[in-house]
């Protein structure tokens, strides 16, 4: 270290002879106080230090040996040991008067009327609080509007400060503003729930407030005020007739103050003779899930003051405790339990009403709607299940060969059946915050469904021609008919309607069957059983030898051809399967071949029976209209 300030470190002349004592300068005015501040020894002036120690107040930068003496402030400004030297005295002292203290009410302002005098020419207002001066703080007659803190504290001090002539001191005057409130009554003390207080005298009171001149009480019907009206405390009682009927209502009080009438303070009371009965059934969902919010309630219970609810683990009462209607929130820890409620009054608590709650695990959805058979190569096929109460989404799955193309997550999907599909299944389950529900399954097949009932006669005449038909089967590309050897299919094989020619020999007990097929397979057979062929005796004198219709099946027109052995008049009649006549016309038949054409374009699709009748003869034929 260069202790001797000669520029060399640790030389032979080391010592303190080249260093200087420096005094701390606390107020930064360039002067230190030797009697107060610490010193340090250094070769050069440190920051915050000075070599001068003539300051007499190192806490005030305006006081030091270089400062000018200020007259009238009773301070030795220049540290020469004399106060106000060179001053000849204040010839015209300033005066200030802030005015009398004021009391105002919340929501109003104070009108100021400050005055100054003597040598003062201006005055300035300041506040101990957070209010504002209008038009400004330099107006002696300003309006002061209390701030939020002023109102909260209930009082604020305003100060008026004047200016002053040379050698004079400014004048200062203060005033207090008290801020009253018209809504400051506290809570009423006294019992809120009483059991059979027959003959008892009960006291209710409220804390007095400043400025209140009188207190006005009101009581619910059945309650008698004995004393205290006008004061902050009253005594009341109830006759037995009121207690027996039950008293529920409010006792209220408000005060007249210098700021007006206060807002009332009220206390609800219940005076009863007996304990309430058990609450009725709890209404609300018995099943819920984590994340759900449910509302539960019971009917109002006679004589009840309050309702005491208890929820199971994982269920939290978020609103309504103490009333007959509550809101309950369910969290992930909820697995089920009992929701309980009882009713209470001053006489006691009723028995508990219980509602058992459980997680809303969904059952399987209702039956899946959509085609079960004939789905070979089908595209954009719709399947759906009924909407489940409580389900938030639906999950569908299929076996190989079935592709879901849209609707996953909803209760309705569309699917495509791929070329590899023969048979499989479609499944769906609903989900909610409790998890996944049970699954509903539906088996689906590429092959068509078994055809319906075969329509046609079961007793056939030898050598007769007949029509057999089934309703169209969805997804079918081919109908396979099988008939006994003695019956010949004359047309319609591969379609849903065939025309046959019966054999010439009577046959007992046989059947006709039909299957529906497509590229994915063949259905089970539908059968027309207990059929028989008999010899049909021709009516005596019947001159009709045969009848035929074409095309069969027909669409727009039917051609009817028949042979008559003689000229005669006849009627053409068409009947539906119920025997109702839907067409009738007269015919002039000639001996030999006769033809007639009938318009069937307006007929409903189905099987019809065509008959030609004369006085002594008749013949019939069956036709299908598509």
Burial pattern 385-416, b for ≥16 Cβ within 10 A else e, equals beebebbeebebebeebbeeeebeeebbbbbb
Which of 35-39, 222-226, 280-284, 372-376 comes out lowest in average pLDDT?
A: 35-39
Residue 420: both structure tokens together: 């590899």
Provide the β-strand partners of residue 230: 215
* pLDDT range class, residue 540, cuts 50, 70, 90: very low
Residue 214: both structure tokens together: 């009188």
CA–CA distance, 252 with 239 (Å, rounded to integer): 20
| CATH architecture of the domain covering 544-625 | Sandwich (2.60)
577 has pLDDT over 60 = yes
pLDDT for res 2: 53
Secondary-structure class of domain 287-359 per CATH: mainly beta
485 has pLDDT over 90 = yes
Compute and round to an integer the Cα radius of gyration of the chain.
57
Average pLDDT on 175-195 reads: 88
* pLDDT range class, residue 14, cuts 50, 70, 90: very low
404 or 19: which carries more pLDDT confidence?
A: 404
| In the chain, where the domains are located | 1-87, 94-180, 193-272, 287-359, 381-445, 459-534, 544-625
Burial pattern 610-619, b for ≥16 Cβ within 10 A else e, equals bbbebeebeb
Average pLDDT on 438-447 reads: 97
* pLDDT range class, residue 16, cuts 50, 70, 90: very low
pLDDT for res 543: 66
H-assigned helices in 135-200: 148-153
- 129 Cα distance to chain centroid: 47
Comparing 94-180 with 459-534, is the CATH topology the same? yes
CA–CA distance, 470 with 553 (Å, rounded to integer): 13
In this structure, what is the dihedral angle of CA atoms 539, 544, 548, 554, given to the nearest 10 degrees?
Answer: -80
* pLDDT range class, residue 575, cuts 50, 70, 90: confident
86 has pLDDT over 70 = no
**Residue 277 DSSP one-character state:** P
**CB of 542 closer than 8 Å to CB of 617:** yes
357 has pLDDT over 70 = yes
Ramachandran class of 347: left when φ > 0, alpha when ψ lies in -120 to 50, beta otherwise:
alpha
201 has pLDDT over 60 = yes
**Domain 459-534: which topology?**
Immunoglobulin-like (2.60.40)
Q: Which residues contact 108 (CB under 8 A, 6 or more apart)?
A: none
Length of the chain: 626
Question: What pTM does this model have?
Answer: 0.51
The burial of 556, by beta-carbon neighbours within 10 Å (0-12 exposed, 13-18 middle, 19 or more buried), is given as exposed
Q: Which of the listed CATH numbers 3.40.1190.20, 3.40.50.300, 3.90.550.10, 2.60.40.10 matches domain 94-180?
A: 2.60.40.10
pLDDT for res 372: 97
Query: Apex CA 135: angle with CA 133 and CA 140, to 5°?
Result: 70
Question: What is the percentage of the chain residues whose pLDDT exceeds 70?
Answer: 92
105 has pLDDT over 90 = no
Q: How many CA atoms lie within 13 A of 376 on its CB side?
A: 20
Average pLDDT value over all residues in the chain = 89
Residue 274: both structure tokens together: 């007996």
Average pLDDT on 419-433 reads: 95
* Per-residue pLDDT tens digits for 26-44: 888 788 876 765 677 778 7
Instruction: Please name which of 190, 235, 227, 232 lies closest in space to residue 215, comparing C-alpha atoms.
Output: 232
Average pLDDT on 337-341 reads: 98
* pLDDT range class, residue 181, cuts 50, 70, 90: low
Q: Which residues contact 480 (CB under 8 A, 6 or more apart)?
A: 494, 514, 515, 516, 517, 522
* pLDDT range class, residue 134, cuts 50, 70, 90: very high
Secondary-structure class of domain 193-272 per CATH: mainly beta
pLDDT for res 67: 80
Provide the β-strand partners of residue 469: 455, 497
18 has pLDDT over 60 = no
């Amino acid at each position: 270290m260069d202790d001797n300030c000669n520029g060399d470190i640790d030389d032979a002349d080391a010592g303190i002879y080249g260093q200087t004592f420096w005094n701390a300068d606390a107020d930064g005015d360039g002067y230190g106080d030797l009697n107060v501040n610490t010193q340090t020894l250094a070769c050069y002036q440190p920051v915050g230090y000075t070599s001068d120690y003539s300051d007499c107040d190192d806490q005030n930068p305006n006081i030091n040996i270089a400062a000018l003496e200020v007259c009238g402030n009773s301070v030795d400004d220049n540290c020469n040991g004399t106060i106000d030297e060179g001053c000849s005295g204040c010839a015209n002292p300033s005066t200030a008067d802030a005015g009398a203290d004021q009391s105002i009410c919340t929501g109003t302002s104070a009108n100021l009327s400050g005055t100054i005098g003597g040598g003062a020419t201006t005055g300035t207002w300041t506040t101990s609080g957070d209010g504002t001066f209008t038009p400004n703080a330099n107006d002696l007659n300003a309006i002061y509007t209390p701030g939020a803190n002023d109102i909260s504290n209930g009082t604020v001090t305003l100060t008026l400060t004047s200016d002053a002539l040379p050698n004079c001191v400014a004048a200062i005057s203060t005033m207090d503003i008290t801020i009253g409130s018209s809504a400051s009554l506290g809570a009423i003390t006294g019992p809120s729930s009483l059991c059979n207080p027959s003959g008892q005298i009960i006291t209710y009171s409220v804390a007095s407030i400043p400025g209140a001149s009188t207190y006005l009480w009101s009581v619910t019907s059945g309650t008698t005020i004995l004393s205290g009206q006008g004061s902050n405390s009253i005594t009341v009682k109830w006759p037995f007739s009121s207690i027996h009927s039950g008293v529920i209502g409010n006792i209220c009080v408000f005060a007249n103050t210098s700021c007006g009438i206060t807002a009332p303070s009220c206390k609800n009371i219940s005076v009863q003779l007996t304990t309430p009965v058990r609450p009725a059934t709890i209404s609300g969902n018995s099943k819920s899930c984590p994340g759900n919010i449910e509302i539960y309630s019971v009917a109002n219970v006679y004589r009840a003051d309050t309702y005491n609810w208890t929820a199971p683990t994982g269920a939290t009462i978020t609103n309504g405790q103490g009333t007959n209607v509550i809101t309950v929130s369910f969290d992930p820890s909820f697995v089920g339990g009992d929701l309980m409620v009882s009713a209470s009054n001053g006489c006691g608590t009723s028995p508990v009403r219980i509602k058992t709650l459980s997680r809303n695990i969904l059952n399987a959805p209702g039956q899946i709607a959509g085609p079960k058979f004939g789905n070979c190569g089908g595209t954009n096929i719709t399947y759906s299940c009924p909407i489940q109460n409580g389900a938030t989404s639906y999950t569908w799955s299929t076996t190989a060969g079935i592709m879901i193309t849209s609707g996953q997550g909803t209760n309705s999907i569309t699917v495509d059946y791929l070329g590899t599909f023969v048979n499989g299944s479609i499944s769906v389950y609903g989900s909610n915050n409790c998890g996944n529900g049970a699954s509903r399954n539906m088996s689906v097949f590429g092959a068509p469904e078994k055809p319906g009932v075969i329509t046609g006669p079961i007793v056939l005449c030898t050598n007769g021609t007949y029509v057999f038909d089934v309703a169209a089967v969805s997804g079918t590309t081919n109908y396979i008919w099988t008939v006994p050897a003695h019956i010949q299919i004359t047309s319609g094989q591969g379609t849903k309607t065939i025309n046959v020619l019966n054999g010439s020999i009577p046959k007992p007990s046989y059947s006709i069957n039909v299957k529906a097929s497509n590229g994915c397979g063949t259905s089970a057979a539908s059968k027309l059983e207990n059929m028989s062929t008999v010899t049909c005796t021709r009516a005596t004198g019947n001159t009709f030898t045969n009848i035929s219709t074409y095309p069969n099946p027909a669409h727009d027109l039917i051609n009817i051809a028949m042979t008559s052995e003689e000229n005669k008049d006849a009627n053409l009649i068409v009947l539906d399967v119920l025997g109702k006549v839907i067409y009738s016309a007269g015919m002039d038949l000639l001996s030999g071949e006769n033809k007639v054409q009938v318009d069937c374009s307006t007929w409903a699709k189905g099987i019809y029976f065509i008959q030609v009748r004369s006085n002594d003869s008749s013949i019939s034929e069956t036709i299908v209209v598509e």
